[in-house]
Amino acid sequence: MKLFALILALSAAASAQTITTFTAAWNGLSRTYSVYVPVNPQPSPPLVMVLHPTINGTELATLTSAIPFCQDGMGWSGDLQSANGYILLCPVATWKPGVNGAAGYRFWEADTSAAYFPTPPDDAGFLRSLILQMELPKSLGGYGVDPNRVFVTGMSSGGMMTHAIAKHSSDLIAAIGPISGTIWIGTPETTLPTNPVSVIELHGDQDKTIPYCAGSHFNGWGEKDVANPSVDVDINFWLAADGLPPNSTPLCNGSALSDVYKVSIRGANGVEVQFMREIGDAHAYLGWTTGTIWEFFNNHGR
């Protein structure tokens, strides 16, 4: 499958970043993504790919609202980008038709969710192709991003997809920051990355959409009674994948919260797995997380 891009450019004022929106054909589907370039990018800039959460509504409305959520709702453009000179990449998920009386959604095809789509969009392949394109020099239509500083973050189904793309493209990604998104849904998925990836994960301990601890299922996106693992499963998956010891301070005791609020385990090679419990918070994106995740990214290039 080859990526074809048709450029629809939107240039901001000279004092702001340049925003370019593209449409692309992938796996027989039309895809959309935007690239934000600050006024003064680093000479070989880092890349931050941000995956929006599930968005419900009409197909057109969800398409037009996804990118602004990445840009403004999650705070990755503006002052933080200007100060650090990274390239921001905001892809849009494909359309998942409504089931069980629910509306449709913009939803990511993370591992184990392909059956939710009439045509599986191959999000893992699509996102990988975008990273490779961004690494190309400008003379070849890319942005010359530093291949040792490619980072991915996302929330909800975007957090699930963050886990998934890191497993499938660990050769390209240095670190990830999934938020309120588990490593699988429905049934366990055990695809292993081929390279170590640093991870900072955040999750609200009062999340009722994607529960923090095991023992309860969620009912979302029109699906009914879907199982998801506890946050301990996520952490121990990445610790094992990165060759680190298992966490000895569980975040959950079965379906109940433990008194542990943070996990941070770092290897001799600098790869780190970190978890932060968002105390008293539900399924929502909190503004402070953006700076916290960027600080982690900035310290965990290859």
Contact indicator for 178, 228 with CB cutoff of 8 Å: no
How is the chain split into domains, by residue range? 38-51+72-87+120-298
Contact indicator for 168, 176 with CB cutoff of 8 Å: no
Exposed/middle/buried for 145, CB within 10 Å: 0-12, 13-18, 19+?
buried
Computed from CA positions of residues 223, 205, 164, 132, in that sequence, does the dihedral angle turn out positive or negative?
positive
Instruction: State the CB neighbour count (10 A cutoff) for residue 194.
Output: 11
Instruction: Determine the Cα–Cα distance for residues 270 and 173; give it in Å rounded to an integer.
Output: 15
Q: What angle do CA 236, 159, 184 make, to 5 degrees?
A: 55
Q: What are the structure tokens assigned to 172, written together?
A: 């390209």
Q: Model-level pTM?
A: 0.92
Per-residue model confidence as pLDDT tens digits over 157-200: 999 999 999 999 999 999 999 999 999 888 888 789 999 999 99
- Tell which phi-psi region holds residue 233, choosing left (phi > 0), alpha (psi between -120 and 50) or beta: alpha
Closest CA to 125 of 169, 81, 191, 188: 169
Q: Give the three-class secondary structure for 52.
A: coil
Query: What's 38-51+72-87+120-298's CATH class?
Result: alpha beta
Per-residue model confidence as pLDDT tens digits over 171-181: 999 999 999 99
Per-residue model confidence as pLDDT tens digits over 90-139: 999 998 887 777 778 888 998 878 888 888 899 999 999 999 999 999 99
